């Protein structure tokens, strides 16, 4: 076999970051077209740009590209006539010199179903986002960030212009929260707007005849304040009603209720509010009379809560729980079948995320897929015979597939998507271990080609974040195949607190992060190194977010690893709790006593393993102070008189909880692998070129 035949895109970081990245799926009203989004590098290879592609649901035709611009496109939604709406910050060629579009905010564009150029049909000074379309009437609903004092479009435009010209960025907060993820909240906040295309006839007819369709938007939530900051909503098929999450103020933050809005009058009615629950994911039934909602029972330091599926009657607000004793947590939007008799959803299960069908009356559940994949973005065909979805695993990135809508335990049919799955440089298998309390603990193990008893591979233990999550889907940010291409085996365990193994499995680690999650990780590592194709003398551990917390905890409780990488990690829990972007949630998970018992910083004296600390300054979920304090406390204990120490800090001033830009992703992987090579394989330290 030649080098070219054995090489993969994971052998070279430039080639890896250049791989196309798919996401999302939207089905046309007639069921003949699927639209997905694909990210590719811009010509300078400095940013990812998203384009929309059409996929044939039958799998016969090749995928074709629908949009192309330097700014990219997103939020695809179909009108009833098959015209495609999308958002983009691309310049409007028809805008006049006084349009005020120089900020290049996102606008709503329409691409006709037949022929014709895309054109802007709606714009807001604060941009447009979260587009929904009523299935029958074509009513368009979108969200747009708006200043609280703005009563008109012009007032909003003038306010933004004045702040820009005066270079004012200050925000006066009068309530919490103040930040989310990597965004400052305020002074503007989301509102919901609705409208319909002007003029008679279909959008496609008007566009092909040189018409100028547009949507006159009506502000339905002028008094929303911050109630829509955790926005999830849907519009009824007839376009008369919007169901939305609605934030209810309470001590320390907001809880989410479900409200309905009358599109004609803007009248609002809170339909479901319970102090013991958070609510989300509303989806109208085909007849518009019911809503499926996700009810999340609020956690306490002694109880991890639960996630339930319920059907809500729009007329009177009555609630009927469908979950029963089904011990799964739904992930992502839940879709109705066209006849309203069933729901189609995805939930984590045993290191996978199958598609399930749930009877809308009895709650009886049928698992539709029985393979090793994680599914998302489910769409049901208009005739109810097929389900379309995106599927992924650690063997392949997201790609569009088709399922029979009623057949249990089936294999999905791959459709002809915009790109092929890349060849990986190894194999994927499973490892099972037994926790200290006798609980089964399972992991994925990515093995390099050629690993054997004669040539065992060094092992990298990767710890997932969340902590409520599972290693069940392809990740571009934490991709094991880049390490596998360098000869490492990568262990991806699901310890206590992981989803897909039932509520009791989560409860084992709830409020006690340093307990079962840690011992499960050690048990999983023990099981992996018992294999004769793994070298137990050459191991490292790494993780991000909660995984970074666990990496720090591991560092203070064992010296079995040669190196530890901790990314966006929690170090001092008493410091983290009040400074994270959601301090009220943290208070529901751990008491001050629990935080003290589980804080890694209290075990700093025990750390002897070299650590690579990584953090972004725009990380508001785990603020930069965690990394700065960790690195300072490592240095105070390890720094020699000449300033040398084995620990390192990789700092990204412009990145958030993740590292998103391609050039920084390359630097991240180069540094992590160089650190592992140095301490695990004994190679000379090599500083990445762009860091020296």
67-89 pLDDT tens trace:
999 999 999 999 999 999 999 99
Q: Give yes or no for a contact between 600 and 556, defined as CB atoms under 8 angstroms apart.
A: yes
Predicted local confidence at residue 104, as pLDDT: 81
CA nearest to 338, candidates 293, 291, 383? 383
Q: How confident is the model at residue 2 (pLDDT cuts 50, 70, 90)?
A: very low
pLDDT in tens, 218-251: 999 999 999 999 999 999 999 999 999 999 999 8
Angstrom distance (rounded) from CA 119 to CA 105: 15
Count, in order, helices (H) and strands (E) of the chain. Answer: 13, 38
Q: Across-strand partners of 336?
A: 343
How much of the chain, in percent, has pLDDT values that exceed 70?
A: 96
Choice among 87-101, 312-326, 405-419, 465-479 with the minimum mean pLDDT: 87-101
Q: Do the beta carbons of residue 462 and residue 528 sit within 8 Å?
A: no
Asked if residues 110 and 204 have their Cβ atoms less than 8 Å apart, the reply is no
Distance CA 311, CA 318 (A): 8
**Other Cβ atoms within 10 Å of 18 Cβ, number:** 13
pLDDT confidence bin for 252, thresholds 50/70/90: confident
Tokens of 395: 């063997």
Q: What is the pLDDT of residues 471-494, one digit of tens each?
A: 999 999 999 999 999 999 999 999
Separation of alpha carbons 614 and 544, rounded Å: 9
H or E, element range at 344:
strand 342-346
Task: Reply yes or no on whether the pLDDT at 556 is more than 80.
Answer: yes
Average pLDDT over residues 200-228: 76
Other beta carbons less than 10 A from residue 495's beta carbon: 28
CA 327 from centroid of its chain's CA atoms: 22
Give the mean pLDDT of 348-368. Answer: 98
User: How far is it, in rounded angstroms, from Cα 573 to Cα 567?
Assistant: 16
- Choose among 342, 298, 331, 347: nearest CA to 588: 298
Give residue 209's pLDDT band: very low, low, confident or very high (50, 70, 90). Answer: very low
One DSSP character per residue, 221-283 reads -TT-TTTTTT--EEE-TTSSEEEEEEEEEETTEEEEEEEEEETTT--EEEEE--TTEEEEEEE
Comparing 99-113, 353-367, 387-401, 586-600, which segment has the lowest mean pLDDT?
99-113
Residue 199 is predicted with a pLDDT of 56
- Give the residue carrying structure tokens 């900020």: 103
From the list 548, 558, 563, the residue with the least C-alpha distance to 630 is 548
- Give yes or no for a contact between 94 and 118, defined as CB atoms under 8 angstroms apart: no
Pairing relationship of beta strands 107-111 and 426-434 according to DSSP bridges: unpaired
Whole-number average pLDDT of the chain = 95
Closest CA to 589 of 351, 301, 392: 301
**Angle subtended at Cα 405 by Cα 404 and Cα 409, rounded to the nearest 5 degrees:** 65
CA nearest 124: which of 99, 97, 96?
99
Residue 329 above 80 pLDDT? yes
H/E stretch holding 549 reads helix 546-557
Give the angle 369-371-377 at the CA atoms, nearest 5°: 55
Pick the CATH number of 426-691 from 3.40.50.2000, 3.40.50.2300, 3.40.50.1820, 1.20.810.10: 3.40.50.1820
* Lowest pLDDT segment from 9-23, 105-119, 302-316, 410-424: 105-119
Contact 652, 659 (CB under 8 A): yes
Looking at residues 156-172, what average pLDDT do you find? 97
Q: Counting Cβ atoms within 10 Å, is residue 170 exposed (0-12), middle (13-18) or buried (19+)?
A: exposed
Residue with tokens 């479009």: 153
Place of tokens 């037994």: 434
Distance CA 540, CA 457 (A): 12
For residues 595 and 574, what is the distance between their CA atoms, to the nearest angstrom? 6
Q: Do the Cβ atoms of 179 and 185 come closer than 8 Å?
A: yes
pLDDT category at 121 given cuts 50, 70, 90 is: very high
Could you tell me the pLDDT band of residue 94, with boundaries at 50, 70 and 90? confident
At 608 the pLDDT is: 96
Q: Give the Cα separation of 383 and 493 in Å (integer).
A: 40
Indicate the length of the chain as a whole number: 692
78 Cβ contact partners less than 8 Å away, ≥ 6 residues apart: 26, 27, 28, 29, 33, 35, 84, 85, 133
Task: Enumerate residues 6+ apart whose C-beta is below 8 A from 19.
Answer: 9, 397, 419, 422
| Cα-to-chain-centroid distance, residue 354 | 17
pLDDT given at position 385: 98
Q: List, as own/partner pairs, every contact residues 197-202 make where C-beta atoms lie below 8 angstroms and the sequence separation is at least 24, other chains included.
A: 197/79, 197/110, 197/121, 197/138, 197/140, 202/81, 202/83, 202/113
Strands 306-313 and 290-297: antiparallel
β-bridge partners, 309: 294
Global pTM value: 0.95
Answer whether 543's CB lies under 8 Å from 478's CB: no
Give the tokens for residue 683: 């190679």
Q: How far apart are CA 514 and CA 597, in angstroms?
A: 8
Q: What is the pLDDT of residue 641?
A: 74
pLDDT beyond 80 at 394: yes
pLDDT in tens, 630-664: 999 999 998 777 778 999 999 999 999 999 999 99
Contact assessment for residue 626 and residue 615, using Cβ atoms and an 8 Å cutoff? yes
Helix intervals (H) in 131-241:
153-165, 203-208
Query: What pLDDT, on the 0 to 100 scale, is given for residue 96?
Result: 62
């Amino acid at each position: 076999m030649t080098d070219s035949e054995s090489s993969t895109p994971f052998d070279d970081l430039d080639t890896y970051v250049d791989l196309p990245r798919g996401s999302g799926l939207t089905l046309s009203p007639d069921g003949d077209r699927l639209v997905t989004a694909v990210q590719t590098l811009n010509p300078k290879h400095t940013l990812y740009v998203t384009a929309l592609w059409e996929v044939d649901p039958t799998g016969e035709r090749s995928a074709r590209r629908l949009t192309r611009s330097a700014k990219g496109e997103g939020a695809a939604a179909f009108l009833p006539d098959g015209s495609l709406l999308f958002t983009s910050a691309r310049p409007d060629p028809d805008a006049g010199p006084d349009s005020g579009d120089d900020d290049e905010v996102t606008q709503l564009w329409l691409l006709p179903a037949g022929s014709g150029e895309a054109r802007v049909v709606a714009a807001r000074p604060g941009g447009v986002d979260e587009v929904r379309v009523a299935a029958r009437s074509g009513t368009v609903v979108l969200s747009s960030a708006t200043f609280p004092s703005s009563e008109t479009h012009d007032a909003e435009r003038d306010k933004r212009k004045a702040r820009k010209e005066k270079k004012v960025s200050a925000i006066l907060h009068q309530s919490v929260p103040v930040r989310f993820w990597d965004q400052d909240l305020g002074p503007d906040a989301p509102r919901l707007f609705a409208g319909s295309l002007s003029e008679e006839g279909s959008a496609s007819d008007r566009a092909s005849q040189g018409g100028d369709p547009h949507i006159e938007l009506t502000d339905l939530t002028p008094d929303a304040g911050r109630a829509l900051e955790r926005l999830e909503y849907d519009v009824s098929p007839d376009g008369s009603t919007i169901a939305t999450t609605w934030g209810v103020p309470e001590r320390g933050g907001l809880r989410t209720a479900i409200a309905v809005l009358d599109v004609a009058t803007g009248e609002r009615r809170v339909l479901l509010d319970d102090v013991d629950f958070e609510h989300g994911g509303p989806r109208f039934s085909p007849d518009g009379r019911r809503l499926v909602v996700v009810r999340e029972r609020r956690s306490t330091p002694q109880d991890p809560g639960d996630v339930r599926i319920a059907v809500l009657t729009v007329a009177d607000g009555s609630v009927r729980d469908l979950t029963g004793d089904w011990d799964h947590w739904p992930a992502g939007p839940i879709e109705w079948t066209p006849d309203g008799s069933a729901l189609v959803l995805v939930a984590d299960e045993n290191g996978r995320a199958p598609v399930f069908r749930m009877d809308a009356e009895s709650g009886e559940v049928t698992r539709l897929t029985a393979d090793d994949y994680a599914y998302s973005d489910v769409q049901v065909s208009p005739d109810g015979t097929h389900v379309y979805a995106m599927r992924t695993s650690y063997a392949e990135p997201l790609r569009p597939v088709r399922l029979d809508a009623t057949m249990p335990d089936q294999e999905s049919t791959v459709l002809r998507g915009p790109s092929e799955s890349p060849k990986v440089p190894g194999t994927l298998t499973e490892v099972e271990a037994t926790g200290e309390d006798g609980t089964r603990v399972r992991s994925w193990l990515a093995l390099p080609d050629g690993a054997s008893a004669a040539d065992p591979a060094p092992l990298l233990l990767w710890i997932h974040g969340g902590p409520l999550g599972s290693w069940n889907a392809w990740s571009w940010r934490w991709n094991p195949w880049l390490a596998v291409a360098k000869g490492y085996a990568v262990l991806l365990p699901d310890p206590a607190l992981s989803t897909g193994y039932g509520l009791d499995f989560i409860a084992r680690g709830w409020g006690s992060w340093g307990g079962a999650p840690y011992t499960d990780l050690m048990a999983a590592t023990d099981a992996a190194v018992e294999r004769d194709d793994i070298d137990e003398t050459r191991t490292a551990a790494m993780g991000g977010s909660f995984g970074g917390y666990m990496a720090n905890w591991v560092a203070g409780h064992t010296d079995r690893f040669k190196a530890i990488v901790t990314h966006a990690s929690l170090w001092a829990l008493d410091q983290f709790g009040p400074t994270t972007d959601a301090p009220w949630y943290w208070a529901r998970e751990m008491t001050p006593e629990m935080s003290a018992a589980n804080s890694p910083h209290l075990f700093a004296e025990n750390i002897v393993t070299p650590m690579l600390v990584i953090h972004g300054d725009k990380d508001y979920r785990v603020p930069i102070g965690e990394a700065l304090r960790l690195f300072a406390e490592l240095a105070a204990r390890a720094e020699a008189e000449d300033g040398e120490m084995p620990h390192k800090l990789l700092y990204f001033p412009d990145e958030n909880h993740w590292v998103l830009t391609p050039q920084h992703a390359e630097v991240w992987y180069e540094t992590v692998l160089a650190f592992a090579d140095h301490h695990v394989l004994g190679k000379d330290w090599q500083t990445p070129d762009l860091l020296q």
